Structure 1
């Protein structure tokens, strides 16, 4: 699976995207964020709060309980500020 990190999340993870062979137990967005927290220590506090992030699959926002087993790409957007 390809995981794409957007905006300042690229800096926190050290990459804009990565190809990952997911373990069998990673089936949902929540599972993915827990897995990513182990891979990216600097972003771990953010990944520990998956509800704070936004996830896109096939150009649609999805929730943290979304099944990712057949998704080739997951895009992750961090929270933004502004007015």
Structure 2
């Protein structure tokens, strides 16, 4: 699974992109966020407030209950405001 981080999530996680192999029980975006948060203090900081993190799976915006599977591309980014 390819995970991408944007804006302050990238700064906190300490990387813009990584390849991960979560355990089988990680079946949705919310579980992936919790699993990633346990990987390092930087990841924990990035996902400290899940309500402030948006996600896209395979370039489609989605919520925390959206399924994830090996081979997916999952992007995390802060909320975006229009103007």
Q: TM-score, normalised by structure 2?
A: 0.83
Return 5+ residue gaps in structure 2 as ranges. Answer: none
Deviates more, 1:67-76 or 1:10-19: 67-76
Partner of 1:10: 10
* Runs of 4+ with deviation above 3 angstroms: 79-83
Return 5+ residue gaps in structure 1 as ranges. Answer: none
Partner of 1:61: 61
Q: Number of matched residues? A: 83
Partner of 1:49: 49
- Maintained 8 Å contact 1:46/1:52: no
- Please give the secondary structure, in 2, of the residue aligned with 1:39: coil
User: Could you tell me how far 1:72 is from its partner in structure 2?
Assistant: 1.6
Q: TM-score, normalised by structure 1?
A: 0.83
- Please give the secondary structure, in 2, of the residue aligned with 1:4: strand
In 2 relative to 1, CA 45–14 (structure 1 residues): closer, same or farther, beyond 3 Å? Answer: closer
Partner of 2:33: 33
User: Could you tell me how far 1:80 is from its partner in structure 2?
Assistant: 5.3
- Maintained 8 Å contact 2:2/2:20: yes
* Per-residue CA distance 1:22-60 (angstroms, 9 max, x = gap): 111111111001001101313424424323211012322
